[in-house]
Amino acid sequence: MFKMMMIVALASMISMLLILLNQIINKKMNMERNKMTPFECGFDPKSSSRIPFSTQFFLIGILFLIFDVEMVMILPLIVTFKTSNLMMWTLSVTTMIVILIIGLYYEWKNGVIQWMY
């Protein structure tokens, strides 16, 4: 019982010592300017809220997301290669790749992939 009490007392003393050291070493001010401002996703809330946004960056992000989801749909086809009918598997893979190529061609013709200079 005495050993248990000593361990609890020692753990409490170490914890209090670490808290005290943190308070001594801590150089932050309690009323820091950044803590007093509202959180606005990194934008200064006192300036204009209509900051220009690159739609080209947004379109490239959407393009990446679409192709990422399509890759997730294609990857299981590799696993099912050994267990499925070869003709149906080839038809499925060809259909998926043709859809990818048509989508890429459509986005290329609409200028989504071209960067504006």
- Yes or no: say if 45 and 37 are a contact pair by the CB < 8 Å rule: yes
Task: Tell me the CA distances in angstroms from 48 to 25, 38, 41, 42, 54, one per residue in order.
Answer: 38, 15, 14, 13, 16
* Geometric angle at alpha carbon 59, from 53 and 61, rounded to 5°: 95
For 49, counting Cβ atoms within 10 Å of its Cβ (0-12 exposed, 13-18 middle, 19+ buried), the class is exposed
For 1, counting Cβ atoms within 10 Å of its Cβ (0-12 exposed, 13-18 middle, 19+ buried), the class is exposed
- Return per-residue pLDDT of the chain as tens, 117 residues: 889 999 999 999 999 999 999 888 877 666 666 666 556 565 555 655 566 667 777 777 888 888 788 888 878 888 888 888 889 888 988 988 898 888 888 888 877 777 665
Domain ranges of the chain: 2-36, 55-109
What's at 103, amino acid-wise? Answer: G
**Residue 89: DSSP 8-state:** H
pTM: 0.46
